[in-house]
Structure 1
């Protein structure tokens, strides 16, 4: 894989679109050299590659937008990288950030957009995460630190005795072990998923459910036989009933009453008989209590008149007996206590007035005084109370009650009598026998019909139960089959996981062994004291590096000089690139700044030309100076220079190194 073109726009000092092209190289030419003084934008070039491939947070992008453009309200940032794959396909990755039409853009306003174009055609992926997965598949993010690095990364690896242990996951990614480990873990997750909600169905479970099915089927057969027996018996009684019915029709030439009609007639007979009995009791009660008095009811009015007449006569006699005294009292009242006339009455007038009053009072005594009842007031009250009681009682409606009773008697006789015209005793006896037979048959038919219904419901219940059991049994058969399959899958997962773990162990050992060889091979080429280290070992579990001196004694990396440490770090990076077998470009930023001349010579002569098929070096004029430039010239596919204008705060790229 090779990078063919990088375009940076509005990022840091790259105010305007800046294009850096990486030309194809002829045989033996693998290095593209980019020169630049400190602050010219060399680090920005490496950052642009990483940001274009993997993106960045809006806050970081906003922080490094070119200040002049941001002051104008322009928050558009763009990175574009053209890649040529080993299969000679062209992949164009373009990632941009824009705030749209916002006047004063803020970090939250930035919206990221990613476009991937393959051989001139846009990749048919709509989801940005899937686009990113596509890029990560080409250039895994976890290992780029071993291909795109600067002096700081070299210093980090060279910093202490155990730095490589902390890089274990990245080292495994670079060696290809991480993916096999992830595959093994995925297999274990698959195994766990298979175990979730997994219930193993045994042969005993199947046998138990089959036994339950057989028991229910036996119950069904028994109930069906019982239903057939009842049906046969029911049909016999229906046949007997039809025979009796036909004999009845032949004898009386009419349809016999149905059971419902008979019940209805009997119900009506009971109602009429009950009502007639109630009327008879009512009539009897009235007769017992009021009939003698009721017979004399025509005398009630004359009796009441005679009582009133004798009451008036008695009152008149009482007035007559007191007439003289009353007349005197009335006349005396004319003058006493005061005269009612202006001229008092004379004695003669008083006497005449008294005689007149007495005559009036005597007239009240002129009524017929014939009396034959001569009842006391108490007896009169008793007689009048009894008359009132009789008049308010039902005795006067006795005639209507007797008429209603007679009507009920006629209705009852009609209901009890035969409407079929049965006259002789023999016909009546035959009628009753046939009626009893039909009623008996109907009772048996009703009883058997109820039993038939109950048994039919039992049959239906058992049939439904059998269907449920058959369904459960089919599910058990299916689960039993799936259970076996799941057991097989789980076993296969275990087998595959064990095989992968064994493979990982062997792969790690092989990779680590190869890494040891490649690292030590490069170290011997680069070190000024190659004879100081006799051998090195890398632990295949912890990745801890053990260095041994020429006497075979273990020595710590911290015992090396600063330059030797950096040489060792570069050797390890080269060993990783060789061992990973990933054909990726290597980008190195300011790699020689901390090295002495001997180590620089070794790196320039031995490392740069063989580091990878494409090596992009970002250097100052003091690192790759004129002498080193001439040394590398035969390996250069091209060179360029970053120039920074202090006045315009602008970085530009031009072809040609510092001296050409």
Structure 2
């Protein structure tokens, strides 16, 4: 399908007749992007609404309609300065394949201000825009559902706010879930199950007599009421689930605030003060021990050189004393020897030589000691021994002092840290408020979970009751109706429903497995961090996304940045479009949202040119700016450019062709 032309006449801020060529095919070089630039309030969203209005009329989910009736909405869409006699007109020319041939239709919707019948006039023109196709007018809603159903239109015609909403919620909104089911073809099985149920009920009524019919209708009414109650409780359960998620976020924020503002430290204040007291006592003990060391031999560590000199001097003097004693002993011995020699018959000359030798030998032996300085220390052997003991004790004392000094320094550093922690602790009043906020958030989460669990049990009980009612309905038919042909239909329908349920489950798994792979590939393709996610899982009921890393561990969605969440939402929509196999145009209003520069560049280069064969972008100058538009031009991705020029004085918008902000 291709949108070829959009015509707006007196629609919203578009005064007069303005034509926008949307055909992306230029010569033989198709370029997918149709770029329309406009400032906020300049008519971008109105232009998107005009496409929806042309396609779906009264069923269109337009942004500005809200709770307005269709008549009031059409009146609101009329240009404020239009001539009352002029009609407001929206035309959309599109092309799609029918019976393997391209066919064009032009949808024309016209209305006047305050339409009398409360609706527009619809016309469908054929290939040459001249002959009307009246046969399509009455069945148009059914016809458009064949190739662009309303339920899935939001997955192809979406805006940045829709992406933002999808990115922020843990589970997609119900309207998106229904669109996903339609896009994946899952609603066909549900529709068939409902049709079978209707068929079975009709056959029961055909077989029942008056009394049986009344009882049968009573059971059916009970079943309908139970199913309605089930739907209400199911919606209530979803609300409680969302409430739990929101309250858990509030609880995390309260805990973070409790920690960041000193609440945790304040709760440990008493323990910290006890630690302070213990460490102060330990430090004081070390100081007293060091004072005792300082009162003993430790101060001598300040004069190690003097101690060494004293010891050397003591050894020298002790040696000198020993030499003197030895000299005196030798001189006495020499005297006795000479006296003894004189008594022998030895010549006096020989005795004199011996005496001369002994005298000279003694002089030579003690020359070094005789030339030394006179003793002044006068230390005895016991004093020198004590000096050795002092030096040994001093060495051990120094080691002990260093160890105690290191311990004291470590304790003082720990005391500084403790003091800072105590100082950063919240004051009692602030601590009480922080604690109350945490407790209140925790209580709310507990209460919400309790409500959720109670509702879940009620839902499970009601499901069992519904099954019992269905069995009662089935049993009623079996026991009281004796028409074999119709009974066979009812029995067969029941079996078909069971088979259909299995088929639906398997179809869901098959489709979702393929969708999971496509979403993961699209997400990693758009993301600049390829190691963030290894696998993406999609819940078969809620279609909620779960992310897992390379170790198989879950990646919490709140850990993703706002930009990464938006890319994940876009990857989800892109993956859905790929899996559906439908070749439909993609129109995006305000596409870039809160993306940072790197994510924005990835989206511009990788997503926009590949999102579809036709991509209509409605952007402000800050989203697709000068850098982004130049990138798209260089890649030959833009087929046509338009500028929605808004005049604030007249509050009118003019479409300028072949122009953009730059």
TM class by shorter-chain length? Answer: 0.5 to 0.7
Q: Is the 8 A contact 1:34 1:641 kept in 2?
A: yes
Task: Tell me the TM-score normalized by structure 1.
Answer: 0.53
Post-superposition shift, 1:137?
A: 2.4
Quote the Cα distance in structure 2 between the aligned partners of 1:558 and 1:118.
51
Cα 1:578–1:126 shift into 2, 3 Å: closer
1:622 maps to 622
Quote the Cα distance in structure 2 between the aligned partners of 1:46 and 1:179.
29
Q: Is the 8 A contact 2:24 2:33 kept in 1?
A: no
Q: How many residues align?
A: 371
1:54 maps to 56
Task: Tell me the TM-score normalized by structure 2.
Answer: 0.53
2:96 maps to 85
Quote the Cα distance in structure 1 between the aligned partners of 2:577 and 2:137.
32
- Give the counterpart of 2:646 among 640, 644, 647: 644
1:217 maps to none
Which protein shows a greater Rg? Answer: 1
Quote the Cα distance in structure 2 between the aligned partners of 1:194 and 1:29.
56
- Give the counterpart of 2:42 among 36, 40, 43: 40
- Point out where structure 1 has 5 or more consecutive residues left out of the alignment: 100-105, 201-481
Quote the Cα distance in structure 2 between the aligned partners of 1:111 and 1:534.
51
- Secondary structure of 1:125 counterpart: helix
Quote the Cα distance in structure 1 between the aligned partners of 2:132 and 2:143.
13
Moved more, 151-160 or 36-45: 36-45
Quote the Cα distance in structure 1 between the aligned partners of 2:514 and 2:135.
38
2:284 maps to none
Quote the Cα distance in structure 1 between the aligned partners of 2:622 and 2:655.
19
Q: Is the 8 A contact 1:587 1:615 kept in 2?
A: yes
Q: Is the 8 A contact 1:532 1:549 kept in 2?
A: yes
Cα 1:11–1:181 shift into 2, 3 Å: same
RMSD in angstroms over aligned alpha carbons? Answer: 2.5
1:175 maps to 184
Q: Which residues in structure 2 correspond to 1:354-369 (within 5 Å)?
A: none
- Secondary structure of 1:17 counterpart: strand
Quote the Cα distance in structure 1 between the aligned partners of 2:195 and 2:117.
39
Post-superposition shift, 1:111?
A: 3.8
1:117 maps to 125
Post-superposition shift, 1:75?
A: 6.8
Q: Is the 8 A contact 1:75 1:97 kept in 2?
A: no
Q: Does 1:73 align with 2:84?
A: yes
Quote the Cα distance in structure 1 between the aligned partners of 2:606 and 2:541.
31
- Secondary structure of 2:207 counterpart: coil
- Secondary structure of 1:85 counterpart: strand
Post-superposition shift, 1:167?
A: 3.2
Post-superposition shift, 1:127?
A: 6.6
Cα 1:5–1:524 shift into 2, 3 Å: same
Q: Does 1:135 align with 2:148?
A: no
C-alpha distance after superposition, 1:26-52 (max 9, x if no partner): 456211111222222111110100111
Quote the Cα distance in structure 2 between the aligned partners of 1:19 and 1:126.
24
Post-superposition shift, 1:589?
A: 0.9
Q: Which residues in structure 2 correspond to 1:602-621 (within 5 Å)?
A: 602-621=602-621
Quote the Cα distance in structure 1 between the aligned partners of 2:483 and 2:132.
46
Quote the Cα distance in structure 2 between the aligned partners of 1:155 and 1:578.
21
Q: Is the 8 A contact 2:585 2:613 kept in 1?
A: yes
Quote the Cα distance in structure 1 between the aligned partners of 2:5 and 2:572.
29
2:171 maps to 162
Post-superposition shift, 1:74?
A: 4.2
Quote the Cα distance in structure 2 between the aligned partners of 1:126 and 1:153.
32
Quote the Cα distance in structure 1 between the aligned partners of 2:545 and 2:178.
15
Quote the Cα distance in structure 1 between the aligned partners of 2:485 and 2:623.
65
Q: Is the 8 A contact 1:10 1:16 kept in 2?
A: yes
Q: Which residues in structure 2 correspond to 1:388-399 (within 5 Å)?
A: none
1:544 maps to 544
Quote the Cα distance in structure 1 between the aligned partners of 2:202 and 2:126.
37
Post-superposition shift, 1:176?
A: 1.6
Quote the Cα distance in structure 2 between the aligned partners of 1:529 and 1:502.
39
- Secondary structure of 1:79 counterpart: strand
Quote the Cα distance in structure 1 between the aligned partners of 2:560 and 2:133.
50
Quote the Cα distance in structure 2 between the aligned partners of 1:641 and 1:146.
25
Quote the Cα distance in structure 2 between the aligned partners of 1:94 and 1:492.
47
Quote the Cα distance in structure 2 between the aligned partners of 1:123 and 1:620.
38
- Secondary structure of 1:584 counterpart: coil
2:255 maps to none
Quote the Cα distance in structure 2 between the aligned partners of 1:27 and 1:127.
35
- Point out where structure 2 has 5 or more consecutive residues left out of the alignment: 59-69, 210-481
